[in-house]
Amino acid sequence: MNNWKFYILAISIFSVTACNSSRTVSYKSSDYKKKEVRDRSKTKVKNHSVAKEANSVLKEAYKFMGAPYKYGGTTKSGLDCSGLVINAFDAAGIQMPRISRDQAKEGKEIRLRDVQEGDLVFFNTSGSNISHVGIVEKVKNGEVFFIHSSTSKGVIVSSIEETYWNKRFVKATRVL
């Protein structure tokens, strides 16, 4: 195969598995623009260091609220879903892989009903395997809210109860 054909094929395959969705969804994203992260270190938690790490992860993720989506991006001028995770977890001193499907291999798989702030939720938005990731922002009355980079609205908070995300949920993991 010619080099340029291989290059085009590789780019096509990679772009299909990137963080994307054809539908825009968000859960009251305007409510989260300058939201302060609840200080979990003041709550009764079995492992205070985990609570502190989750707080660091979420504080860093909130710094990117409203940042535009950019495929392969990792800065406030534009980033994709896995770029958001890399930046947020770096604030807690944890290096994460670059691609969401590789990030899904990190940590321990947990049931969705057991997720906590700072856990990761993974989705299949491209038709094959894991192609999107979000960070659990909060769980309220059993409803899971997660911060992620949307292709059309940039970094927003969405609910897993939304039909689009609920149908595409694959798994949740705990890295912290």
Question: Taking a C-beta distance cutoff of 8 angstroms, is the pair 33, 66 a contact?
Answer: yes
Element (H, E) at 74: strand 74-75
19 is an active site residue: no
| Active-site residue (options: 19, 81, 84, 156) | 81
Query: Can you spell out the DSSP letters for 8-38?
Result: HHHHHHHHHTSS--SS---SSGGGGTTPPPP
Rg (CA), the chain: 16
Query: With 70 as the cut, is the pLDDT of residue 147 above it?
Result: yes
Over residues 73-97, the pLDDT tens digits come to: 999 999 999 999 999 999 999 999 9
Query: With 90 as the cut, is the pLDDT of residue 34 above it?
Result: no
What is this structure's pTM? 0.77
d(Cα 134, Cα 6) in Å, to the nearest integer? Answer: 31
Check residues 168 and 20 and name the one with the higher pLDDT: 168
d(Cα 83, Cα 130) in Å, to the nearest integer? Answer: 15
| Active-site residue (options: 132, 135, 144, 158) | 132
Going by their DSSP bridges, the two strands 169-174 and 108-110 should be labelled as: antiparallel
Q: What is the pLDDT of residue 47?
A: 59
Enter the tokens of residue 110: 């947990």
d(Cα 7, Cα 51) in Å, to the nearest integer? Answer: 44
Q: Domain 52-174, what architecture?
A: Alpha-Beta Complex (3.90)
Over residues 97-143, the pLDDT tens digits come to: 999 999 999 999 999 999 999 999 999 998 879 999 999 999 999 99
Enter the tokens of residue 123: 């989705």
Enter the tokens of residue 25: 């969804």
Percent of the chain topping pLDDT 70: 73
Question: Taking a C-beta distance cutoff of 8 angstroms, is the pair 25, 134 a contact?
Answer: no
| Active-site residue (options: 40, 101, 148, 168) | 148
Question: Taking a C-beta distance cutoff of 8 angstroms, is the pair 65, 88 a contact?
Answer: no
Question: Taking a C-beta distance cutoff of 8 angstroms, is the pair 39, 55 a contact?
Answer: yes
